[in-house]
Amino acid sequence: MTAPNSPTPPAPARRSHTTRNLLVALVAIVVIAGVAVGGYGVWYLFLSPAGPAAVASSAPVVPAGASVPVPASLDGTWNVNTSLGSMSDFSASWVGYRVQEQLAGVGANTAVGRTPLVSGSMTLTGAVVDNVSITADLTGLKSSDPNRDNQLRSQAIDTNQFPTATFTTTGPVDLGTLPAEGQTVSVVANGALTLHGVTKNVAITLAAVRQGGVIAVTGSMPVVFADYGFSGPTSFSVLSVDNNGIMELHLLFTHA
């Protein structure tokens, strides 16, 4: 006996089934594309959060809970403090980079990497800042993708051979008058930047604010890779990298 034909599902049920099939297909395409282009793939693009904002878009802020007493005198040596703030929201002390890149299967992307391994100091006499010296351990650079971080160890800035970057001022920075607590001041500091074993005279735009016994400083400046003898990293998943980037910093100082 021939079984009767199964009833045809109503139109809404057929549409629901088709929709589910399309969703499954789209997910499969995303997963395959993500695997195909590696750590920089579409899968990463869809699931990763937006990168951290550029420091130029925000004023320096002393992290919440960083309660440090005001020293008896603001004059003297101020050291970079790495115990305050957190790298989870980038409220700690760090130095980093921001570079535009083109990724296979993705397109334009902003690569941002930062290291909390920073040391340094400055002196304050009245309203004059001097003897600024900052050292960043670039082996601690971390971005949103470990593959990118690994490439920088042997390519581009080549942290295996050139593990540190330094900045030292070449003259005092006169603020004119000492800013009141909570008042942000912007200055340009002239100094020498050593990166990839090459030292260049630079000018970096800085903004600073004091809250209690903490001075927070943010800054950024353009860096042309060829000036320091390197080019951007290469990879099968990276179509191109700009020949320049932005060096960024966020530093918290406390009185020695």
Percent of the chain residues topping a pLDDT of 70 = 75
The candidate with the shortest Cα–Cα distance to 120, out of 130, 133, 139, is 133
What is the C-alpha separation between 207 and 192, in angstroms, rounded?
18
User: What is the number of other CB atoms lying within 10 angstroms of the CB of residue 149?
Assistant: 17
Q: What is the rounded average pLDDT of the residues 175-179?
A: 93
- pLDDT recorded at residue 53: 87
Q: Looking at residue 162, what is its pLDDT?
A: 98
Q: What is the mean pLDDT of residues 195-204?
A: 97
Residues 104 and 237 sit within 8 Å (Cβ to Cβ): yes
Flag whether pLDDT at 171 surpasses 70.
yes
The span from the CA of 40 to the CA of 27, in Å, is 17
* Residue 37 confidence (pLDDT) above 50: no
Average pLDDT rounded to a whole number, residues 218-224: 96
Provide the whole-model pTM.
0.79
With a cut of 50, say whether residue 240 has pLDDT above it: yes
* CA–CA separation, 232 and 220 (whole Å): 19
> What does pLDDT average to over the chain?
83
pLDDT digit string (tens) for 127-140? 999 999 999 999 99
The residue among 241 and 171 whose pLDDT is bigger is: 171
**Poorest-pLDDT segment among 146-150, 163-167, 189-193, 235-239:** 235-239
Residue 242 has pLDDT above 90, yes or no: no
pLDDT average, residue stretch 114-127: 98
